[in-house]
Structure 1
Amino acid sequence: MATLLKKPMLLCLIFAVLLQMGLVPAAAELRRFEQPAKADGSLSFLVVGDWGRRGRYNQSDVAAQMGIIGEKLDIDFVISTGDNFYDNGLTGVDDPAFDESFAKIYTATSLQKQWYNVLGNHDYRGDVLAQLSSILRKIDSRWLCLRSFILDSGIAEFFFVDTTPFADKYFDDPGEDVYDWRGVLPRKKYLSTLLKDVDSALRDSSAKWKIVVGHHTIQSAGHHGNTDELVTQLLPILQANSVDLYINGHDHCLEHISSSDSPIQFLTSGGGSKAWRGDVKWWNPKEMKFYYDGQGFMSVQITETEVDIAFYDVFGSVMHKWGVSKQPHSAF
């Protein structure tokens, strides 16, 4: 009898270990973290994407300006929209690229805050489990990277979504690139579970502001353009649940598109290092509020009644500002 009891216990233990390692997809609801707003109820953060090039392609210059603006705005945290390490992610938790592209680059005092990171397609070309590992958090406590998760600040909730597995081309026509799909396969089940979890979390959210973060574009006039799979699968969920902002990287530019059929603002911050693609697709001028085919980053400031965004170039100059207001929650 004792032997019979040991087998299921052993299987459960093995499954738990594999789940922790990311070797099987998690079917549980999205993991939640808390990032309290300041005492006055405000929140401030920077967004940078597509950056990890050991300081090259002006990455160090962008980082320096982030430090200056971060201090000026008294930021609470930083969001990375993915493609954290070029060209092929990390080789492991001991890859020097983590130090050379992250720890030794973002050294300003104001940037010694929590970094909330999502994975990009280039990150999936390396050891994905390394970026997700708690070992990196021990090396640099700022680092927090999960596939998908929720960040709750009270006045705003952030829904970080793992967008790379949505794109068919990485599976159907990867060319010479090799992707690390551990924890994603079987893909259909992974995406189905993720979409249900995001939809449920957004529906249950009572936050004044709902912000979704992913690596890939939904609407963009840049080099990559729209990600069709996200347009058909994720966008309807965002529209149905009154999402305010969708923030992404992938296109190496700074961009603001205002949706014509919903309140969603599409914000691209993918200018953390190599940029200047030189190919821009036509977009309806009524929707295209700003496009800059170059390097830089974005700031977001939030209160219960207002959201204000700004885009900065590599010199720290403000290139575009935009804001929106909402009525405060009723006390009754």
Structure 2
Amino acid sequence: MFEGGHRLLFLGGLLLWLCMASPATSELQRLQHRAKPDGTLSFLVVGDWGREGNYNQSEVASQMGVIGEKVDIDFVISTGDNFYEDGLTGVDDPAFSKSFADIYTAPSLQKPWYNVLGNHDYRGDVEAQLSPVLKEKDSRWVCFRSFVLDAEIVEFFFVDTTPFVDKYFTDPGEHKYDWKGVEPREEYLSNLLKDVDSALKDSSAKWKIVVGHHTIKSAGHHGVTVELVELLLPILQANDVDLYVNGHDHCLEHITSTDSEIQFITSGGGSKAWRGDIKSWKPEEMKFYYDGQGFLSMNMTGDRADLILYDVFGQVLHKWFISKQLHDTA
């Protein structure tokens, strides 16, 4: 499926569609979250976390609570791999409490959690994470395969990236994936790409942020996800996306692009990290890499976004801002 020439044929067909198709209304689920009365928005981003408190998950959660209170967050974004090693077994799996409800207990974290699915989540019962039963168990939990979150000054486009990756289909090894709702894969991906493109084109938000689990640019263990570079990245570039935020690699990264305005952020340090696992990258693009645990905070106005990467102790590792008026960073 999409290996070698097959993937090139699919890409060619997709590009032809993008050139010829007329604008359409996105069919992605749409949610709304109001900004603060002063027009600002604050949130945290964490990924690759669900290990029942182990591998410093609890410590990261504690610091998220501290920073969350300090910056008065409106919500939390999860970049996927919410439950290791193999997702949830069902809606009554105790891992939901042991890895989520019982871990992120700080008062500041009692806000909505907007989640995407990671590859480890697909190794379990995907429908369980999507089920409204989990929201009944913990009202913070919000999870769909792909959706749009309208937060007034910014729109977030959550994209289900796991079905893009060939090897999960062609060479899964000992792992079993739950592809209910995805197969036939070609049709699923084609529709998803059309919907993402349509939603981005329709957006009038000042900021556009795309959230997925898998990397597009990364110097970490998994590195570049070729399928996303071929199929998703051209859509992001064509629609003036500001940030692509992901997990998957268990590190913290900030990478810019020499051929577009998009900045690529990896926030996959929610629990287990991979010390010393880093590949070479263009120095003109690599702004920061940390091979440890931590998370991201963002504070946004209509004109400016301030981003900070923290370690497991809550120490500032890297901070920068993006000015919407100047299209510049510092």
Q: Same fold (TM over 0.5)?
A: yes
- Identical residues among aligned pairs (%): 75
2:231 corresponding residue in structure 1: 233
Q: Return the offset for 1:327.
A: 2.6
State the one-letter code of the partner of 2:81. D
1:73 corresponding residue in structure 2: 71
Q: Return the offset for 1:277.
A: 4.1
Distance 2:179 2:275 in 1: 28
2:131 corresponding residue in structure 1: 133
What does 1:187-226 correspond to in 2, within 5 Å?
Answer: 187-226=185-224
Deviation string, structure 1 residues 28-60 (Cα, Å, up to 9, x no partner) = 700100011000000000000000000000000
What does 1:103-252 correspond to in 2, within 5 Å?
Answer: 103-252=101-250
Moved over 3 A (4+): none
State the one-letter code of the partner of 2:286. M
Q: Return the offset for 1:315.
A: 0.2
1:3 corresponding residue in structure 2: none
2:43 corresponding residue in structure 1: 45
Q: How many residues align?
A: 302
Gaps of 5+ in 1: 1-26
8 Å CA contact retained: 2:254, 2:289? yes
When normalised by structure 1's length, the TM-score is 0.90
1:315 corresponding residue in structure 2: 313
Q: Return the offset for 1:279.
A: 1.8
Q: CA RMSD in A?
A: 1.1
8 Å CA contact retained: 1:218, 1:231? yes
SS of equivalent residue, structure 1 residue 320:
strand
2:270 is equivalent to residue 272 of structure 1: yes
Distance 2:74 2:81 in 1: 22
Deviation string, structure 1 residues 94-125 (Cα, Å, up to 9, x no partner) = 00000000000000000000000000000000
SS of equivalent residue, structure 2 residue 276:
coil
State the one-letter code of the partner of 2:111. K
Q: Return the offset for 1:278.
A: 2.2
Distance 1:28 1:185 in 2: 21
When normalised by structure 2's length, the TM-score is 0.90
1:22 corresponding residue in structure 2: none
2:28 corresponding residue in structure 1: 30
8 Å CA contact retained: 1:252, 1:277? no
Distance 2:298 2:192 in 1: 26
8 Å CA contact retained: 2:253, 2:265? yes
1:12 corresponding residue in structure 2: none
Distance 1:200 1:304 in 2: 23
Q: Return the offset for 1:215.
A: 0.2
Which has more radius of gyration? 1
SS of equivalent residue, structure 2 residue 205:
coil
Distance 2:224 2:26 in 1: 30
Distance 1:240 1:217 in 2: 19
Distance 1:38 1:28 in 2: 27
Deviation string, structure 1 residues 98-156 (Cα, Å, up to 9, x no partner) = 00000000000000000000000000000000000000000000001100000001110
SS of equivalent residue, structure 1 residue 65:
helix
Deviation string, structure 1 residues 192-251 (Cα, Å, up to 9, x no partner) = 000000000001100000000000000000000000000000000000000000000000
2:15 corresponding residue in structure 1: none
8 Å CA contact retained: 1:223, 1:277? no
8 Å CA contact retained: 2:26, 2:199? no
SS of equivalent residue, structure 1 residue 44:
strand
Q: Relative to 1, partners in 2 of residues 1:312 and 1:166: Cα closer, same or farther, differing over 3 Å?
A: same
State the one-letter code of the partner of 2:139. S
Deviation string, structure 1 residues 69-117 (Cα, Å, up to 9, x no partner) = 0000000000000000000000000000000000000000000000000
Distance 2:26 2:200 in 1: 15
Deviation string, structure 1 residues 162-201 (Cα, Å, up to 9, x no partner) = 0000000000000000000000000000000000000000
Distance 1:278 1:123 in 2: 26
Q: Relative to 1, partners in 2 of residues 1:259 and 1:28: Cα closer, same or farther, differing over 3 Å?
A: closer
8 Å CA contact retained: 1:42, 1:304? yes
Q: Return the offset for 1:326.
A: 1.7
